[in-house]
Amino acid sequence: MTISLLSDANQRLEKALQYVTIDDDVATRLHYPKASLVVSIPVRMDDGTLRVFQGYRVRYDDSRGPTKGGVRYHPSVSLDEVQSLAFWMTFKCAVLNLPFGGAKGGITLNPKELSKFELERLTRGYVDAIADFIGPDIDIPAPDVYTNPMVMGWMMDQYNIIRRKLVPAVVTGKPITMGGSLGRETATAMGAFFVMQRALPWLGRTPAETTVAVQGFGNAGAIIAELLYHAGYRVVAVSDSKGGVYAPQGLDIPSVRQIKNANQEIKAVYCTGTVCSDVDHEVISNEQLLELDVDVLVPAALENQITSSNAHHIRAPFIFEVANGPITSDADPILEERGIQVFPDILVNAGGVTVSYFEWVQNRSGLYWSLEEVNGRLETSMNRETDNIWAIAKDLHTSLRTAAYVHALNRLGDAIKAKGTRDFYMN
C-alpha cells in the first residue's frame, strides 16, 4: 500500500493540534490545499518529436499572504508530492514569520535527459500554462530540486513576455543580473548552518568535537558540508544520488566539491582524484550513510529517507533536516523513543525561502542589499525562530518538530481567525 505523502504530512498537523487552543475552523481549513493546478506541457524536442510533460502548481494556503514555494523537476514528482511540499511551505513561511502562504510546483521528468534548449522550451511552456495562477501578489515560484537561477530567469522572462512588462518579483532565485538577490543560492545551507551553530552549545558540543554525515550533494548539501568544514566540524561522509564516501578522519570538502564538479559523481572523488592516495576512505551507499556512527546526520536530498524500516538503525543522536520531509511521520516516535533529537525541516531549511522573501522585497522596493545585509538579516531571523522553537519544546515537553508546528499554527490561526471563524460569527 502506498501512503499518501499529504496524509503523512497531515499527521504532524494532528499531533501539533493537541497542544494549541485553536478554532476548529483553522484546523479544518489547513487539512486541504486551496487550489491545485495540473497542466500538460507539449514540448518540441531537439529531434523534432513532440513530448508532453505533466506539470503541477499547488497553492496550499494564503491566509498570511501570497503563496510561495519552489518548482521541482524530478521523475518522482506527482500531485500528492507537490501538495505535501506546498503544505510544508505553508508552515515553513509561518515559522519564519514571512508574509507568505505556502505553494509548490513541479514537472515530472528527468532533467538530466533533456538538452538545455529542451529545458528552456519546457520551462517557458510551464509558465504559459500556469501564468494566471501566479504573480507577485498571488503566488511566487522559486528554485527547488534540479531547478536553478537559469531556470528562474527563463520563468521570469516568459512571464514578462505574457504580461508585456517587467515583473521581477514574480519569481525568486533569479540570476543576480535579472534582479536576483545576493546570497540566495547559498541561503538554504546558510540558514541551516545558523540553526546548527545556535543549537550546538545547547547540545553540549563544540564544532571540533562534532562529526557529521551529509546525505545529498546538491545546492543545499554541498554548501552546508563546506560551511561546516570551514567552521571546524569533522565532515566524515557525503553522498549524492549515485552513492557516497566515508572517511572517519574527515573529508576535505572543498576538494570533494571540486572533483565532484569535474566528474559529476561523488564516487569519483577519492578513487580517481589526486587525494586518492592520501585519504583512507570507504565507498558507501546512501542507506549506509544514514546509519553511520556520527554525532550529526544531515539528510539534504529527498523526502522519505528515514522511515519505520530504518529508524531503528540510525545512530546519530542529532538530525538536522535540510531536505524537505526526509523523515516519515511513523519514524518520528521511533527516533524520539531512542532519544534522537530532530531539528525539523520547516525550521532548518527555511533559509532559502527567507532570502527569497528578501529578494521579493528588493524587487518591489528597487533598492538592492549587500551580501552582508542579506546574511545578517538571515542570521537574525534564523536565530530568533530557533530560540522560539527551542523554548516552546521545553515549555510543552514536545519534540522540536511538534514545537515548530505549534509555533506556525499559532501564527496561521491568528491570520485565519482575523478573517472570521465560527466564534467570530456566532458570539
* Residues with catalytic roles: 104
Tell me whether residue 172 or residue 305 sits nearer to ligand GLU (CB atom). 172
Note the residues at the interface with ligand GLU (CB under 6 A).
68-70, 142, 144, 172, 324, 349, 352-353, 356
State the CB neighbour count (10 A cutoff) for residue 209.
12
Residue 178: C-alpha distances to residues 284, 293, 298 (Å): 41, 44, 32
Per 3-state DSSP, what percentage of the chain is helix, strand, and coil (rounded to 5)?
Answer: 50, 20, 30
Tell me the three cell numbers of residue 357.
Answer: 522573501
Residue 384: C-alpha distances to residues 253, 377, 379, 401 (Å): 29, 11, 8, 16
Tell me whether residue 12 or residue 68 sits nearer to ligand GLU (CB atom). 68
Tell me the three cell numbers of residue 236.
Answer: 566524515
Of 404, 345, 287, nearest to 15 by C-alpha is 404
Q: How far is the CB of 127 from ligand GLU (least distance, A)?
A: 16
Tell me whether residue 173 or residue 273 sits nearer to ligand GLU (CB atom). 173
Tell me whether residue 101 or residue 352 sits nearer to ligand GLU (CB atom). 352
Tell me whether residue 69 or residue 299 sits nearer to ligand GLU (CB atom). 69
Q: How far is the CB of 279 from ligand GLU (least distance, A)?
A: 33
Identify whether the C-beta of residue 187 lies closer than 8 Å to the C-beta of residue 266.
no
What own/partner pairs with CB < 8 Å and gap ≥ 24 does 380-385 have?
A: 381/96, 381/97, 381/354, 382/191, 382/194, 382/195, 382/198, 382/350, 382/351, 382/354, 383/194, 383/198, 385/95, 385/96, 385/97, 385/347, 385/350
* Partners of 240 in beta bridges: 243
Of 58, 39, 416, 386, nearest to 196 by C-alpha is 386
Q: How far is the CB of 303 from ligand GLU (least distance, A)?
A: 11
* Partners of 56 in beta bridges: 38, 106
Tell me whether residue 142 or residue 213 sits nearer to ligand GLU (CB atom). 142
Q: How far is the CB of 140 from ligand GLU (least distance, A)?
A: 7
CA distance 235 to 247: 9
Q: How far is the CB of 176 from ligand GLU (least distance, A)?
A: 16
Q: How far is the CB of 125 from ligand GLU (least distance, A)?
A: 21
Instruction: Please give the residue whose beta carbon sits closest to ligand GLU in the complex.
Output: 70
State the CB neighbour count (10 A cutoff) for residue 208.
9
